[in-house]
């Protein structure tokens, strides 16, 4: 069957298990909150570059996350999600993975 062009590309590709959500101590991926802190972003990263990075991973603003607070001076971004499945897919897609626009740098995440 043809893929649905309106369906996010990450749907059906796994993610964190439901038992992993809520199992980690504070400051580590896996908690009941639906907010993720993305850390270790290069100082040169702009909000637009980061959003492009998220788009490459199959995530778009409005559809997949409802809160986005980019802080270039601290090299971090808060991303808030409306549901746990999207959040866990986001973490599985990016946590520990190399950044497209910063060769050799990897994403670091923590659920808040």
> Looking at residue 32, what is its pLDDT?
55
Range 8-13 average pLDDT: 47
> Looking at residue 103, what is its pLDDT?
82
Q: Which two tokens stand for residue 38?
A: 């993305």
Cβ atoms of 52 and 61 closer than 8 Å: no
Range 88-109 average pLDDT: 91
Q: End-to-end CA distance of the chain, in Å?
A: 38
Range 72-95 average pLDDT: 94
- C-alpha distances (whole Å) from 48 to each of 52, 79, 91, 101 are 6, 14, 20, 11
pTM: 0.69
> Looking at residue 27, what is its pLDDT?
40
How do residues 20-76 score in pLDDT, each as one tens digit?
Answer: 333 333 344 444 579 999 999 998 889 999 999 999 999 998 899 999 999 999 999
Q: Evaluate if residue 100 carries a pLDDT over 70.
A: yes
> Looking at residue 102, what is its pLDDT?
85
Q: CA geometry: angle at 47 spanning 77 and 3, to 5°?
A: 90
């Amino acid at each position: 069957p043809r893929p649905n062009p309106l369906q996010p590309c990450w749907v059906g590709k796994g993610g964190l298990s439901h038992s992993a959500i809520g199992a980690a101590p504070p400051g580590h991926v896996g908690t009941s909150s639906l907010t993720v802190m993305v850390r270790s972003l290069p100082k040169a990263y702009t909000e637009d570059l980061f959003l492009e990075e998220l788009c490459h991973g199959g995530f778009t603003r409005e559809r997949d996350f409802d809160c986005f607070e980019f802080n270039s001076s601290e090299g971090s971004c808060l991303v808030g999600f409306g549901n746990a499945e999207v959040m866990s897919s986001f973490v599985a897609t990016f946590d520990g993975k190399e950044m497209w626009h910063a060769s050799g740098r990897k994403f670091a995440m923590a659920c808040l």
